[in-house]
Amino acid sequence: MLGATTGRTKLGRRAVGFLLAAFAGLTARSGRASVVIPPENLGELARRSELVVLATAGEPWSEFRGQELVTVTPFVVVETVSGLAAPGDVLEVEVPGGEGEDGTALVIEGSPRFATGGLYLLPLAPAHDGRYQPPMLAYGILQHGDGPDGAVLRPLPEAGALWLLERPDGAPVEAVTVYRERALLNHLAAVAGGRRAWNAAQVQAADAAGLAPDQAPPSGCALLTASNGKPMRWKTFDSGKTVPVAATRGGDSTLPGGGLAELQQAIADWDGIPATSIALRYQGETDYRLSCSSSFDTPKANANVVVFSDPCRDLTDLSGCAGTVAYGGAWASGTHTWGGTSFNTIVSLYVVVNNGISCLSPGLLRSVLTHELGHGLGFGHSDDPTSVMYRYCGNPIGATDTGCAQYLYSAIGDKAPAAPTGVAASDGTSALGVQVSWNPVPGAAAYTVSRRAATDAGDTSEFGPLAATSFDDTEAVPGRRYLYTVRAHNAFGSSAPSAADEGYRAEPPRSVDLVAPATAPSGAAYTVTWTEVAAAVTYEVEEASEPTFAAPTVLTVSGTTATFTHTVDAPQTFFYRVRPRLATAAAGAAAPPSNVAATTVMPAGTVTGRVAARRVAGGNP
């Protein structure tokens, strides 16, 4: 069966968009979507729950409660976080939805499904007949798993199907992520008991920087959803194929170039997002015609086309550059699974653009087309005001759009990236820090660098997430050796740590002691000398006629001496200082300048002497 979902873009005082769901015939037997108002964080959920236990799931069964099918799962308590339950107690947990013996099925999106033998952290509320139920369906339930640094607890995949409403009090909601199991159990017990405030940073797992395979899309990412409650995406890109996109011939005749350049830029905006499989390809112009058979005409399925100038006059003409500018969406047929979630499979996309859009700047038209093509890729309206998919148009592709695209269309599929290779840490080449670099990892959206002191396993630090494949550790203690590892992350999790490489930060260069003659005869050469600095390649010697060095003459030498000659008719003082330049560009002028020394050149016949210069105030700029 086919279904279409559409979004429109309007312009008023600002460009406005809304989503019109027009799917037909896409159902999964009987299906309903679920909406929850989430707690501020996991700690609040634990405080509000009757019980919080770590328990092992037994064999579930389904039964009717009145006209409603429910699934009951027995759990054996392993550990109690809060509430009146003891290890070994058996709790029956009831959730909505299930399958009857006659084959009747009730599917509740967001209802948890437990695997027999699985270990789960369960927040529970009282239900009927002494049973318990999760207070927010799958939200806040965590499943035991293995992480790079030991046992972790991860959200259920079913939680991704829940619609989360904004809290009435407007309080921000902290995303449920991946946690270190033992740390979370201890912390939640203290929070639920009122002995400690919730602090996610103390219990998050190392791979929380990337989303686990069974997590919801990144924060701020909204997906188009059909009447069956399922989101939408292209499966075509998963096999490396491209999706051609054409424009109606001539585009909009009121625009220079018909708006076709802006369309190609919009296509390039989505194609240019790194670490994704998105591959839209502009196919030029076509003679495609709408049927004009309804009040809301859309291109038919399997025609990826952008229709300019609203040929069916479905849209009210813009008045004073206000009104509906465009609508876009996608056709879908069938379903497939991605990242543990069932998606409607997009088979084509479309955009219909109103006439009279010459009032739009090229940049705004490009943003509108990027926005509408985003609907064709399966993205809904984001609540991030910097996103191109925000309900008010005018933004370029932003960080939220990048994260959403890397989740929905990961370049390596719905799996975590491989461990980075080629990790290299600098060995004392810079006094400014340790330079760490590594090879790019296909499908990686971010990286995390971990540092451990070579002689002290307790001295550890972590830096990230990082977008680049290099990092300057300016916090390393000079002279101390460290082991550096790197993890790669994407929307589906984190890689194992890379092989470690040792590096260290150079000791900061000591200050330079400069010696110059106190006086020198006119016309005779005299020498300025200074102490050697380890790792210095050259030295910059500055000479000035006044102590502020406002306009110095600079001489670059490789040794530790410099010779000067001046001819004067009256005594004149020259001031000197030296700056070491270290071996690497990254180090720059890491060493401070020397003290300031002065030599007074005397006319012929004047007695001169040589003394070591003292360090004077104002020697450093």
Instruction: With a cut of 70, say whether residue 86 has pLDDT above it.
Output: yes
pLDDT at 168: 66
The residue that leads in pLDDT, 487 or 159, is 487
Distances (CA, A) of 496 to 211, 237, 379, 487, 604: 14, 26, 31, 6, 76
3-state helix, strand, coil in the chain (%, to 5): 15, 40, 45
pLDDT at 287: 93
Instruction: With a cut of 70, say whether residue 35 has pLDDT above it.
Output: no
Instruction: With a cut of 90, say whether residue 33 has pLDDT above it.
Output: no
Q: Which residue has the tokens 């369309």?
A: 263
pLDDT at 587: 43
Which tens digit of pLDDT belongs to each residue from 142-174? Answer: 999 887 668 899 999 888 766 566 676 778 888
Query: For domain 424-504, which CATH number applies: 3.30.750.80, 3.90.226.10, 1.20.1250.20, 2.60.40.10?
Result: 2.60.40.10
Please give the structure tokens belonging to residue 349: 């996309």
The residue that leads in pLDDT, 524 or 492, is 524
pLDDT at 242: 96
Topology alike, domains 2-21+225-408 and 514-602: no
Burial of 384 per CB tally in 10 Å (0-12, 13-18, 19+):
buried
Whole-structure pTM value: 0.49
Quick one: average pLDDT of 107-111? Answer: 68
Quick one: average pLDDT of 212-237? Answer: 76
pLDDT at 621: 37
CB 373 within 8 A of CB 349: yes
CB 557 within 8 A of CB 541: yes
Q: Which CATH class is domain 2-21+225-408?
A: alpha beta
Instruction: With a cut of 90, say whether residue 283 has pLDDT above it.
Output: yes
By mean pLDDT, which of 89-93, 377-381, 393-397, 522-526 is the weakest?
A: 393-397
The residue that leads in pLDDT, 67 or 495, is 495
pLDDT at 227: 60
Quick one: average pLDDT of 246-266? Answer: 95
pLDDT at 588: 43
The residue that leads in pLDDT, 146 or 107, is 146
Please give the structure tokens belonging to residue 604: 């012929």
Instruction: With a cut of 80, say whether residue 592 has pLDDT above it.
Output: no
Q: Grade residue 103 by pLDDT with cuts at 50, 70 and 90.
A: low
HSE, side-chain direction, 13 A CA sphere, residue 508: 11
pLDDT at 276: 92
CB 269 within 8 A of CB 372: no
Instruction: With a cut of 50, say whether residue 30 has pLDDT above it.
Output: no
Q: Grade residue 217 by pLDDT with cuts at 50, 70 and 90.
A: confident
By mean pLDDT, which of 112-116, 148-152, 463-467 is the weakest?
A: 148-152
Q: Grade residue 347 by pLDDT with cuts at 50, 70 and 90.
A: very high
- What is the topology classification, in CATH, of domain 514-602? Immunoglobulin-like (2.60.40)
Q: Which helix (H) or strand (E) holds 260?
A: helix 260-271
Quick one: average pLDDT of 223-239? Answer: 85
Rounded Cα gap, residues 209 and 490, in angstroms: 8
By mean pLDDT, which of 18-32, 163-177, 361-375 is the weakest?
A: 18-32
Instruction: With a cut of 60, say whether residue 609 has pLDDT above it.
Output: no
pLDDT at 611: 40
What is the domain partition of the chain in residue ranges?
A: 2-21+225-408, 33-209, 424-504, 514-602
pLDDT at 16: 27
Percent of the chain having pLDDT more than 70?
A: 81
Which tens digit of pLDDT belongs to each residue from 129-141? Answer: 899 999 888 999 9
pLDDT at 66: 62
pLDDT at 409: 93
Instruction: With a cut of 50, say whether residue 350 has pLDDT above it.
Output: yes
Instruction: With a cut of 90, say whether residue 263 has pLDDT above it.
Output: yes
pLDDT at 18: 23
Quick one: average pLDDT of 241-253? Answer: 95
pLDDT at 524: 94
Q: What residues contact 195, with CB distance under 8 A and at least 6 apart?
A: none
Burial of 594 per CB tally in 10 Å (0-12, 13-18, 19+):
buried
The residue that leads in pLDDT, 3 or 340, is 340
Which tens digit of pLDDT belongs to each residue from 379-420? Answer: 988 888 899 998 776 899 999 999 899 989 988 887 888 899
Nearest CA among 496, 596, 581 for reference residue 536: 581
Alpha-carbon torsion (541, 546, 550, 552), positive or negative? negative
pLDDT at 578: 92
pLDDT at 34: 53
Instruction: With a cut of 70, say whether residue 499 has pLDDT above it.
Output: yes
Max mean pLDDT range (63-72, 199-208, 423-432): 423-432
The residue that leads in pLDDT, 79 or 619, is 79
Q: Which one-letter DSSP state was computed for residue 257?
A: G
Instruction: With a cut of 50, say whether residue 434 has pLDDT above it.
Output: yes
Average pLDDT in the chain? 82
